[in-house]
Chain A
Amino acid sequence: MQLVKKHIPIAIAFVMGVLMFLQFYIPTRASNDFLQNVTQWDRIISGFALLLGIYSLLNHHYHKLRRKVEGWGFSVVIYVGFFAMLIAGLAWGIINPPPTPVLNSAGAVTGQVEVYLPFMWMYDYVLLPMQATMFSILAFYIASAAYRAFRARNKEATVLLITAIIVMLGRVPLGAFMITYHPFGGADPLLPWFTEWILNNPSMAAQRGIMIGIGLGVISTSLRIIFGIERTYMGGGD
């Protein structure tokens, strides 16, 4: 059992890790063919991962429903939504026929005739507005959170506060109307110019530091996986 659950996955990770590493630095025809094969296999496996994800989601909510845990009503919504979209897609298809333009006597387009399939109707009139609503609610919470928490409590918080105000004004037309002075005789008024300077200098320097840190972390984790030190991907936390 150890062989199947532990040694073979570690050996596969080692061999594939080393081969993919070498492939990157040896751009021959054979290595390109190898890469093409591997990507095709990986994409097929990704498709199965999607199925696994669906099974996992439905299974999780099935147990919530069976045990009637708090909020089980939302699990009903998951099941109804999932099967409504699935049945609509399988029964009537998932792509609307192309719309046809409506022309007036002068030949100008005045509208369009679009035939909706049930799947696309649900996409356009249920999924799309719901997801857009979820995201737009952020604006309300950001305003409320900023009012409550964005305080100049110390020097660092004050710098953050001032920078945020400059960037918020510089990123909208209002900023350009407020101060019309153009620094260094450039094309941009002060606030948009200063916003670009902040984004291109202090902000970018911080971002670059974060990116280098992430890059080093990715390299070290990859090496740990290739050499079998990191094994959490096999499950069980070992």
Chain B
Amino acid sequence: MNYYAVMAIYRFEIARTLRTIFQSVVSPVISTSLYFVVFGAAIGSRISDIDGIVYGAFIVPGLIMLSLLTQSISNASFSIFFPKFMGTIYELLSAPVSFYEIALGYVGAAATKSIVLGLIILATARLFVPFEIAHPYWMALFLVLTGVTFSLFGFVIGIWADNFEKLQLIPLLVVMPLTFLGGSFYSVDMLPPFWQKVTLFNPVLYLVSGFRWSFYEVADVSVGLSLAMISLFLCICLTLVWWIFKTGYQIKN
């Protein structure tokens, strides 16, 4: 294991985040806070409680998940797409590093960033709405698993994309709708019966449900199923990364 290489990539990526702290940290925190202000404080007071939880507090886990997903994907996809776009990937390819080490460096850094961001948003949310976390360890587990899984997914997108449009395509057209329809803002019980069934095909539902359970012990699906689903996504992403590296897809001619 080329430990120095993994650390070099990791440090490089963290340094890049710190250089662009407004864009990578401050901006998502502010935009998520706006949701808390609007839905928590302003409109939330007129919406009745869901499963006995104040609406403002109910949406907190979902909104953290929303940021975690989008940030993990965008951090990781951009971090590997940019060297490809700039041509600096030559150095990664000519270095004595395995593709796993490259992935570990980039995905590790992207996951770190999005997890830290998730925690900042969590702390910020506490300023606007009161809530307690029933199972902090489970909360941390879901946070880490989701951060890592979607950073891996972002990494795959970054390798697949050969232009800026493709880089944005999946996050905007697939991930964003799935996240909004994944129960961040409502409980699945509130949907008509038909849509309750359809929504079970939305993978994000399982993430939000499990994460919300760790806060309030209220879930749309059982926590075991949530954990199983996120582990399944993790395995799918790992397989994709393994396949990409095996074949050199979109990296080597």
- Do the two chains belong together in a single complex? no
Residues of A bordering B, CB below 8 Å: none
